[in-house]
Amino acid sequence: SNSYISETGTGGLVVKTGDFYLRNTSNADMIYATSAGAVNLYHDGSTRLCTTAGGVNINGGMSIGNDLTVNGGDITLGGTAGGTMTGPTNHNDGAASRWGNGNDLTINHDGSNSYISETGTGSLLVTTNAFKLLNPAGTETMFCAAENGAVNLYYNSSTRLATTNTGVNITGDAL
């Protein structure tokens, strides 16, 4: 019921042709390789992957089962539906993440320090009902602000300055 081409020698199977077509029994393209160098892969009559002089074009979605490594160049994600990342993204020291048409928001780590930079015409806004700044271990509060409530500054996990509905409470000496 099957037909085979079998090359069992020590070399490879070489097919010399101008353009190369692999078609199904309905004469629909499955693979088309041009003598100019482009190779096109099809799914159900639609081109899904094309090699070009500049690289590869993928038409449609792409699922990667493991890591994606890009050596050089940028990664541009687009589309009207957006996308969802379900795992972490790792950046080497000095490799910034940028947002905005003018790269107005940048998050970067230079090997020693970490930066969040907003350089556009607006402000850097953080919206939350409670904001805490913790030590690296997450065991000590350094700053805390609550919606419609107090703003507290801490020293060694002890409140030293707290805003209240009537003013400010200071614990310890005010120098």
Inter-residue contact 105 to 93 (CB < 8 Å): no
> Which residue in this structure is represented by tokens 């019921």?
1
Distance, CA of 145 to CA of 97 (rounded, Å): 27
* pLDDT at residue number 175: 82
Distance, CA of 137 to CA of 131 (rounded, Å): 17
- Give the amino acid at 133: L
Inter-residue contact 79 to 72 (CB < 8 Å): no
pLDDT above 70: residue 81: no
pLDDT tens, residue by residue, 116-172: 999 988 899 999 999 999 999 999 999 999 999 999 999 998 999 999 999 999 999
* pLDDT at residue number 77: 66
Place 83 in a pLDDT band, splitting at 50, 70 and 90: low
pLDDT tens, residue by residue, 26-39: 999 999 999 999 99
Name the token pair of 99: 């947002």
* pLDDT at residue number 79: 63
pLDDT tens, residue by residue, 145-155: 999 999 999 99
Q: What is the pTM of this model?
A: 0.56
Q: How far are the Cα atoms of 49, 83, 161, 167 from residue 60, in angstroms, in the given order?
A: 9, 13, 56, 59
